[in-house]
Amino acid sequence: MTIHESGMNAALARYQAMKSGSEYDLGESELNILGYQLLYGDRNAGEALAIFKLNSIEHPESSNAFDSLGEAYQVNGERDHAVASYESAQKLDPSNGHAAAMLKRLRLSRWLRLSTYIVGTVVILALFVAFVLRKRH
């Protein structure tokens, strides 16, 4: 596999050269399979992202390509990019249940983090006020 032997840049260059030929299937599903192999099989989110980005560029009307890109961003800890990709997937195909579920999960986790931060801040302020009032008496 060119990615493992020569790196991602060489693999992308080879892809561009092979794309015009007819001896290889370099379609959407093949790129998606490669991306998932890199993401979960090789545990290399960075290289998987490069493949999923390429797939979304090569197939800009594919909800699945953007859904997979969102998953790679999510695994890589890039929440905002994941949300944007899942939103693109949902816009292209409103019936994409996986994208809808992931958007709901990501939005809920953001709300929970924000709520925890707010509650923590309020508790700290309340303790501070109680401490100051206690010192005055």
Domain boundaries, the chain: 2-111
In this prediction, residue 8 carries a pLDDT of 73
Judged on CB neighbours under 10 Å (0-12, 13-18, 19+), 89 is: buried
Phi-psi region for residue 9, left (φ > 0), alpha (ψ -120 to 50) or beta? alpha
Give the pLDDT band (50/70/90) at residue 115.
low
pLDDT at residue number 95: 97
User: pLDDT tens, 53-106?
Assistant: 999 999 999 999 999 999 999 999 999 999 999 999 999 999 999 999 999 999
Cα–Cα distance between 81 and 65 in angstroms, integer?
14
> In which band, very low, low, confident or very high, does the pLDDT at 117 lie, cut at 50, 70 and 90?
low
pTM: 0.69
**Residues 2-111, CATH architecture:** Alpha Horseshoe (1.25)
